[in-house]
């Protein structure tokens, strides 16, 4: 397949590398070309604009940081919609606003929202979970590609449904991240061996993905982003905005947003991984 891919961050890089491994011809664009060098070295072609990454390809995938970035790459003067032919399926894998996904579906002939879960490890190992919204026929067209980069794919309904499913996912992750953090803070204060605690808790009813993947990183003082803290804060803000529109109160998610707001906005640690939440209690030297 000939695929355009816009966004070569931590997640995009892993996905692109898997597309290349399967023999696809991938053309990439990123706001900073130097950040695309790793996939270019692996065989991806460089495009100078989103429009250039769109032309001549069977499909175009996007995975950028924030909803404003999505709007820029699709609606900009050199954006995707200015160059996309009528029969081309566009796929936004960014975790973004359901309302924006619905708007894109109105403005593009074939649009799928396809946010993912699984972090940098899932992107690298092609074990991501994909949450899909859009026309079922368009989803079926991209399914062979999704199967190359993910372990499971779930269709939830019309445009925006994939983004709503991702918000549900992030609400759950908020609980596991705050729970893991407070568990480690408590266990450390109690003088317990933290590696043993992680192994023990991870083998019982409290086992979860955050604990098994981020707990060991914390013990190694590894705060590199599998998922940026600033992006997780963005997701929590979207989730709470959507919940408010539906008349829901989500107090635990609101507290997670407050804590990540302190980490990102006050501590200026938004470029750390989400596991850096523990820094609100621990110094980096701990």
Q: Count CB neighbours of 39 within 10 A.
A: 24
Burial (0-12, 13-18, 19+ Cβ within 10 Å), 62: buried
Q: Count CB neighbours of 167 within 10 A.
A: 24
Sequence-distant (6+) residues with CB within 8 A of 97 are 67, 163, 238, 241, 242
3-state SS assignment for residue 215 = helix
Please, how many CA atoms are within 13 Å of residue 250, restricted to the half-sphere of its CB? Answer: 25
Pairing of strands 150-157, 128-134: parallel
DSSP conformation letters of 106-157: HHSSSEEE--EESHHHHHHHT-EEEEEEE-HHHHHHHHHHHHHHEEEEEEEE
166 is known as an active-site residue: yes
- Which of 97, 102, 124, 166 is labelled catalytic? 166
**Active-site residue list:** 166
């Amino acid at each position: 397949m000939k695929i355009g891919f816009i966004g070569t961050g931590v997640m995009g890089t892993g996905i692109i590398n898997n597309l290349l491994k399967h023999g696809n011809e991938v053309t990439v664009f990123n706001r900073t070309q130097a950040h695309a060098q790793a996939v270019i070295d692996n065989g991806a072609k460089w495009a100078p604009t989103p429009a250039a990454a769109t032309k001549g390809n069977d499909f175009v995938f996007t995975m950028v940081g924030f909803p404003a970035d999505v709007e820029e790459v699709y609606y900009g003067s050199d954006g995707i919609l200015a160059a996309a032919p009528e029969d081309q399926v566009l796929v936004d894998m960014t975790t973004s606003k359901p309302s924006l996904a619905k708007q894109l579906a109105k403005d593009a002939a074939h649009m799928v929202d396809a946010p993912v879960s699984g972090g940098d490890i899932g992107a690298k190992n092609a074990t991501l979970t994909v949450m899909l919204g859009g026309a079922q026929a368009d989803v079926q067209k991209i399914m062979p590609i999704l199967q190359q980069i993910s372990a499971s794919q779930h269709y939830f309904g019309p445009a925006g449904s994939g983004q709503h499913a991702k918000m549900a996912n992030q609400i759950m992750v908020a609980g596991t991240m705050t729970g893991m953090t407070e568990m480690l803070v408590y266990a450390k204060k109690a003088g317990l061996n933290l590696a043993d605690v992680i192994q023990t808790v991870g083998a019982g009813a409290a086992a979860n993905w955050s604990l098994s993947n981020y707990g060991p990183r914390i013990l190694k003082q590894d705060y590199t982003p599998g998922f940026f803290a600033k992006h997780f804060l963005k997701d929590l803000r979207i989730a709470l905005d959507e919940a408010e529109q539906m008349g829901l109160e989500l107090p635990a998610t609101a507290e997670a947003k407050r804590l990540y707001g302190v980490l990102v906005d006050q501590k200026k640690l938004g470029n750390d991984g989400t596991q850096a939440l523990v820094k609100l209690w621990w110094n980096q030297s701990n």
